[in-house]
Amino acid sequence: MNSTETIKTEILAIGCAMLDKGLVAGTWGNISARIPETSFVAITPSGRGYRELTANDVVVVDLTGKVMEGNLKPSSELPLHLAIYRARPDIQGIVHTHSVFASACAVARKIIPPIIEDLVQLVGGGVEVADYALPGTETLAKNIVVALGERNAVLMANHGVVGCGQSLVEGMMACELVEKAAQIYIYANQIGGAQLLSKEDVAIMHEFYVDYYRKRQQGSEN
Residues of this chain that interact with Zn ion (CB under 5 A) are 160
As measured in angstroms, the least distance from the Cβ of 161 to Zn ion is: 9
As measured in angstroms, the least distance from the Cβ of 177 to Zn ion is: 18
**Cβ closer to Zn ion: 60 or 140?**
140
Kindly give the pairing relationship between strand 129-130 and strand 153-156.
parallel
How many separate helices (H) and strands (E) can be counted in the chain? 8, 8
Give the phi and the psi of residue 33 in degrees, each rounded to 5. Answer: -155, 150
**Cβ closer to Zn ion: 6 or 137?**
137
As measured in angstroms, the least distance from the Cβ of 101 to Zn ion is: 16
Residues labelled as active-site residues: 77
Question: CA dist 1 to 6, 38, 55, 168, Å?
Answer: 6, 16, 12, 18
Alpha helices in the chain (DSSP H): 3-20, 78-87, 100-108, 117-123, 138-148, 168-190, 199-208, 214-218
**Cβ closer to Zn ion: 36 or 49?**
49
**Cβ closer to Zn ion: 18 or 42?**
18
Q: Which residue is nearest to Zn ion (CB)?
A: 160
At 161, the amino acid letter reads V
